[in-house]
């Protein structure tokens, strides 16, 4: 027997948080994932973090004039938990003993809108 797909009206709504991270060391996608999850688990605990439906969708490394590494990216989360996710990522401050700062740039309903409005990639 084939399982039926959950109709869109019954699925959880998603929001996409555009963020910017400034660090002293280069960060990859795996590093961002571990930083965000660790911060969420420490601040909210396992039970609440499991409700976030948190995913790192995309990461862009940008060049900086000074000695800092700038990364922009998009996080996917549950619509009801946006403020909790924002609070958790703002608490990230260290990675491998070096300073890291996360800023929330904006929140959108689609990845495309988040890239267009907040990430603003130069072509």
pLDDT tens readout for residues 60-118: 988 776 778 899 999 999 999 999 999 999 999 988 889 999 999 999 999 999 999 99
Q: Are 92 and 35 in contact (CB under 8 A)?
A: yes
Q: Give a yes or no: residue 6 inside a domain.
A: no
Q: Is residue 83 part of a domain?
A: yes
In a domain, 35, yes or no: yes
Domain that holds residue 111: 14-119
Q: Please report, for the domain that includes residue 29, its CATH number.
A: 3.30.70.3250
Does 3 reside within a domain? Answer: no
Binned at pLDDT 50, 70 and 90, residue 3 comes out as confident
What's the confidence (pLDDT) of residue 12? 85
Number of domains forming the structure of the chain: 1
98 burial level (CB within 10 Å; 0-12, 13-18, 19+): exposed
């Amino acid at each position: 027997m084939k399982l039926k797909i959950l109709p869109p009206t019954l699925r959880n709504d998603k929001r996409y948080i555009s963020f910017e991270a400034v660090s002293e060391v280069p960060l990859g996608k795996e590093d961002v994932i571990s930083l965000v999850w660790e911060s969420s688990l420490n601040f909210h605990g396992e039970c609440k973090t499991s409700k976030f439906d948190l995913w790192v969708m995309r990461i862009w490394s940008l060049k900086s004039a000074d000695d800092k590494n700038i990364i922009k990216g998009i996080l996917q989360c549950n619509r009801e938990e946006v403020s909790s996710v924002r609070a958790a990522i703002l608490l990230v401050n260290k990675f491998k003993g070096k300073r890291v700062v996360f800023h929330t740039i904006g929140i959108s309903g689609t990845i495309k809108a988040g890239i267009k409005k907040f990430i603003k990639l130069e072509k």
